[in-house]
Chain A
Amino acid sequence: MNKLSLIGLLSLVIRRDLVLAMRRRADVLTTLIFFIIVVSLFPLGVGPEMDMLRKMAPGVIWVAALLASMLSLGRMFSADHLDGTLEQMMLVPQSLSVLVLAKILAHWMVSGLPLVIMAPVLGLQFDMTTQAIGVLIVALLLGTPILSMVGAVGAALTLGLRGGGALVSLLVLPLCIPVLIFGAGAAEAVVSGTSVSSHLSLLGALLVMALIFTPWVTALALRISME
């Protein structure tokens, strides 16, 4: 009998989650449309002053991305928990952390990547410069995976709890503050003419740290939730 390799397991789970997301497109679109609407509300609310909009754009886009990513966190493990797939995942004769990493990557592709792709269009709405938009995209590319990873820990901890959806936001949002500071800071640095690279390096460092620790912590949290 053929044994499935670690990479094989990784790609199997990613492909599975992507296929499931494609067949439940409404869920994916909700996150994206929420993001677009929240960002679009600000110019309407604060008035069409170009200078002010340009200044607040990175912050608004980042906060909206943060909130939008909270929307999809509840779904990360709950469907698998309800139909028993999660039990089978615990019994994978490979590392559970790798499986969790695959689920996080798939979650990011479905809920984080569309936000990054949509950001330049929203940036134009705020009259951001091309350079600032470029930095914003790089920062989002580095930052949104961290949101998925930290969110996974929260989602695993609140699995099966009543009102888990609201709880996970309360748990995860404070932990995402560093990402918000450096992410929005990078694009603001372009506007104010200071160094962008320090913000991006710090985001990169956070990403590496999250990549190392969160799959492992999520796996532990899942095992606790299953008891």
Chain B
Amino acid sequence: MLEISNLACSRGDHLLFSDLNFSLSAGELLQVQGANGSGKTSLLRTLCGFMMPVAGEICWRGQNIRELGDQFYAEMIYLGHLNAIKDELNALENLRIGAGLAGCKVDDKQVIAALRRMGLRGRETLSVKVLSQGQRRRVALARLLLCNASLWILDEPLTALDVGAVELMQDLIGEHLVNNGMVIYTTHQPLEVVGVATRRLTLS
């Protein structure tokens, strides 16, 4: 359960938003909407603890995330604009490290299964350098499958993805919500998950 109360965020001297209140409980999907520069990414980065809010509180299971620290990080996963994958490594190595940084120990079998699910069969041991932007994004998204984090924070997860991959993402989010997961995301593309009402939060 994620609760945000009276949150205010600024970038430099510019106040992006203030008095933001919402909560997210198990099985819920929240889309953050707003024009370019309205503070969507800043909101997500604040939720991750990268940025200090100007005012307000972010609570996870009733406790402030600043106090929770590691416990909160163990239960969430963040996917930003940047894929966090290394050109010099192959998809398999990248994911093993990505999962390790998220605090979980995985074996090659799980990683290969995750990559195949993301439609990267046969690309497991290719250097990421030779993959296309969309394929790189798929490698980054495969991390979601490897860790049992209950809160997914996704910043523009659909960039560079083709139609097939967007559908796959919808399925993945659907499955995660059925397993009592929570997803908060931003996107400029339509993303509808079957059987789940998307809650929307508009920043202005």
Contact = CB atoms under 8 A, between A and B. Distances in A.
Nearest to A87: B80
B86 interface: yes
A2 B85 CA distance: 22
Interface in B32-55: 48-52
A51 interface: no
Contacts of A79: 86
Nearest to A226: B50
Interface stretch (B17-25, B70-78, B170-178): B70-78
A88 B51 contact: no
Given A3-B104, A12-B97, A16-B97, A83 B73 contact: no
Nearest to A1: B148
A4 B82 contact: no
A22 to B, nearest CB: 9
Contact of B50 (A8, A85, A227): A227
Contacts of A226: 50
B73 A92 contact: yes
B137 to A, nearest CB: 12
Interface residues on A, range: 20 to 34
B103 interface: yes
B84 A83 contact: yes
A226 B49 CA distance: 10
Interface string A82-97: 1111011111111100
A2 B148 CA distance: 10
Contact of A2 (B48, B81, B97, B104): B104
Interface residues of B, number: 34
Interface string A20-45: 10011000000000000000000000
A117 interface: no
B98 interface: yes
Contact of A87 (B74, B84, B93): B84
Contacts of A210: none
Nearest to A90: B50
B130 interface: no
Contacts of B71: 93
B144 interface: no
B104 A84 contact: no
A177 interface: no
Nearest to A23: B88
Interface of B: 48-52, 70-71, 73-74, 76-78, 80-89, 93, 97-98, 100-106, 147-148
Q: Which 6 A-B pairs have the closest CB atoms?
A: A84-B82, A93-B74, A2-B105, A84-B84, A93-B103, A23-B88
Interface of A: 1-4, 8-9, 12, 16, 19-20, 23-24, 79, 82-85, 87-95, 226-227
15 contacts: A1-B148, A12-B101, A19-B88, A79-B86, A83-B83, A83-B84, A83-B86, A87-B48, A87-B80, A87-B82, A88-B78, A91-B77, A91-B102, A92-B103, A93-B70
